[in-house]
Amino acid sequence: MTETPVDGAIPRYELAEWREAYGVIAGITGRGEGDRPFDLGLGGISPAGEVLDRWGALRRAVPGIRGIVVSRQVHGTRILWHDTAGGLVIHEGSDGHATESPGLLLAVTAADCVPVYLVDPVRRAIALLHAGWRGTGDGILAKGVAELVRRGSFVGNLLVHCGVGICGSCYEVGSEVFAGCGLPAPDGGRGGLDLRSVLADQARGQGVERVSTSPFCSKHDPGFFSHRGGNAGRMVGYLGLI
């Protein structure tokens, strides 16, 4: 499963297979080209007015979307359920969102952390998570699955995609990060950690059978923002029901 570029003025990539098979919009924005990148960071390096204009442009670029929900993230495991929203709604202190309302776009910001997309195509319920190493270690994926199950989904119906994020070869971390994710540290105490592999294993451990992973690395593949790559700015992973 791979994200493919979408034509238009907004640099973005989507899972075309999910749109065609399940009526789901799942994607991520890109950096774009030139000296004015498409930065969507909340409280980041770009002027606030420009950032809000870009959020508005994203909402208008995705057909059928009436509202976007996002939060100032804290690398935690709190997940918000949304029944409706219009325009752009910014929450505080959450790293996940879920809904069953068509036309509502869930969003998380990222620059190396992993956007995790959860879809129940039978009941038509979705969740989108922001997973850095702390959220991964603290079980945000399991909480996302539990939130959908609590709302009536069956685990066997779920799809999980671990999206564009930093790859294991580019993400060298210390022993405390491995320990935080429940893994043994490599010899010497430092090594490459593949967060998406950890998340995929967690999804399968929850009973999810259909799990996929993006082939793109936010650091070494062009077109994305990377905190570790010195490419400042934020992308937005997004997920919505058509």
CATH number at residue 73: 3.60.140.10
Distance CA 231, CA 112 (A): 11
Rg (CA), the chain: 17
Report the pLDDT averaged over residues 19-41.
90
**Long-range contacts of residues 190-197, Cβ cutoff 8 Å, at least 24 apart:** 192/168, 193/133, 193/168, 194/167, 194/168, 195/113, 195/114, 195/131, 195/132, 195/133, 195/136, 195/165, 195/166, 195/168, 195/171, 196/114, 196/162, 196/165, 196/167, 197/168
Averaged pLDDT, 5-11 = 91
Q: Give the pLDDT confidence score for residue 14 in this predicted structure.
A: 97
Number of domains in the chain: 1
In this prediction, residue 229 has a pLDDT band, given cuts at 50, 70 and 90, of low
Confidence of residue 230 (pLDDT cuts 50, 70, 90): low
Question: What predicted TM-score, i.e. pTM, was given to this entire model?
Answer: 0.95
> Is pLDDT above 80 for 144?
yes
Which of 30-44, 48-62, 203-217 has the highest mean predicted lDDT (pLDDT)?
203-217
Say if residues 212 and 87 touch (Cβ distance below 8 Å): no
Average pLDDT, integer, range 202-217: 97
- Residue 233: predicted pLDDT: 87
CA pair distance 234, 242, nearest whole angstrom: 25
Domain housing 33: 4-241
As a whole number, the mean pLDDT across the chain is 92
**Encoding tokens for residue 65?**
């979307």
pLDDT of residue 2: 93
